[in-house]
Amino acid sequence: MIKFITLVLSLHVGILPVDIAVNAPVARLEMHLDGAKVGERTAPPWRFRVDLGRDLVPHRLEAVAFDERGKEIERISQWVNYARRSREASLLLEPSTDGKPRSGKVIWATTDQRAPIALEVRLDNQPLSVQSDGRFELPSYDLSIPHHLQAELLFSNQQSIQAEAVFGGLGGETLTTALTAIPVVLEGAKLPPIEELEQWLQVAGEPAKIFSRDHLLSDRSTAPTSNPAGGDGYGSSIIIVRDTHIDRDLKRLLRQKRQSLFAKGGRILNPEDRVEFILTSSLPQDPRGVHRPQPVTSDFNELGLWNLFIQDYPQLTMPRQQNIWWSLALAGKRAVDLRQRRVIILLLSKKPVSLPGLSFEQAQGYLRSLRVPLLVWAPEEKTLSQLGTSPDRPYLGAPGMLQLFEDVQDLLEHQKILWIEGDHLPNEITLSAETPAGVRIAQ
């Protein structure tokens, strides 16, 4: 009946024009932003101008249609600044004659029609055999308790997508649901049972429904899980945004503290950790003007962080113009997409120059709203004064680089992933008054 003509796939601030297609009798059409009505139309053209404000944050945009009696007849929604991917996947469970699923299939669609180069399916974190067309068989399991099924598809450009299904429990009925990963930082505290955890987190003021704690999803290790409700998540995502003019500053740093930098920053990362670079050059756009993140690769784990910083990567040798702050924002989106423990490292040259359109303050605020920690290294204090606002976690010169290595490890070790049932924006999830001291949502 109604459909978004405007699909918001890029990042936006300020005024956003939104067009709706109406294909049936509608007496009134409302536009809602984050639950608040921001516009109303009773006749075509069904066009709205939605003010997103100056801050770059995720939003939920809804169009609500009413009939002549004022009854709601349809509601559609899409996310803004939390765009859908150009690749999507889902899981289809195939019940047998007794109603119990015994097999399934991974279904995927991509805008470029490319097939994945690798496909992995796990049931309660245990790998399953899967055919090239996505079909798989389920092992013996107890339908009276909840189970979690995950698929991960890897494509040739090293980008991956995931799909999940939750089934079992609730009297044995089968259901599928989206899950939202929220990183919680624990300082001197341990994760309690799920029943107590649900009193810690709220979604729109109501207690969150938590499916599990940590590593049933996006756990890139192969460690078995005997207790689905407990344990520790293993995989982490480290995304590096590197100023293209930083080479001279890093080489100077290397001459000053060579031994210390290799000692502290040369530690081997865990094999299950994912490391990516996001290019800071003027980002390419598709015909609709959509900014695409540019992860270079994730196969750097055995080099250690310092080696990653100083490696000569031809992919990172780009023209002088660069969109540092847009790249930083897109790195945050990428970190959320990967659905693991996460941290972003921004490495700046002495005089970082970025194309206009977004400020560091806006980009940093966006990462906060996504619950993604940001560490910013600069060669000197003057660099930070050019940013317009102070970084949450600044690091300066050689001492700062050594401290950064320690803090990256500390941040990731204290993060735990909680899986909340439903599809939620990160900034819709908050802590309740009952949350104990030493517990916070990562940002």
Most confident of 98-107, 207-216, 265-274: 98-107
Domain ranges of the chain: 2-80, 85-177, 179-443
- The H or E element spanning position 72 is strand 72-80
Q: Exposed, middle or buried by CB within 10 Å (0-12, 13-18, 19+), for 375? A: buried
Superfamily of domain 179-443: von Willebrand factor, type A domain (3.40.50.410)
Task: Give the strands of the sheet with 429-431, arranged side by side.
Answer: 206-207, 201-203, 429-431
Q: pLDDT tens digits, residue range 310-342?
A: 665 555 555 557 788 988 998 898 888 878 889
Q: Letter for the amino acid at 17?
A: P
Q: What's the whole-number mean pLDDT along residues 217-231?
A: 30
62 contacts: CB under 8 Å, gap ≥ 6: 31, 32, 33, 75, 76, 77
Contact 298, 351 (CB under 8 A): no
| Sign of the dihedral through C-alpha 257, 258, 262, 263 | negative
pLDDT at 129: 93
pLDDT at 26: 92
Does the structural domain 85-177 have CATH classification 2.60.40? yes
Better pLDDT: 369 or 356: 369
What is the share, in percent, of the chain residues with pLDDT greater than 90? Answer: 27
The Cα 11–Cα 321 span in angstroms is: 20
Do the first three CATH levels of 85-177 and 179-443 match, i.e. the same topology?
no
Q: Letter for the amino acid at 59?
A: H
pLDDT at 69: 93
Q: Letter for the amino acid at 160?
A: S
Model confidence at 111: pLDDT above 60: no
Q: Exposed, middle or buried by CB within 10 Å (0-12, 13-18, 19+), for 209? A: middle
* Residue that is written with structure tokens 């950064």 in the block: 404
The Cα 308–Cα 438 span in angstroms is: 32
- pTM (2 d.p.): 0.74
Model confidence at 264: pLDDT above 80: no
Q: pLDDT tens digits, residue range 379-409?
A: 999 999 999 999 999 999 989 988 998 899 8
For domain 2-80, give its CATH number from 1.20.1640.10, 3.40.50.300, 2.60.40.10, 3.30.450.40. Answer: 2.60.40.10
Model confidence at 221: pLDDT above 50: no
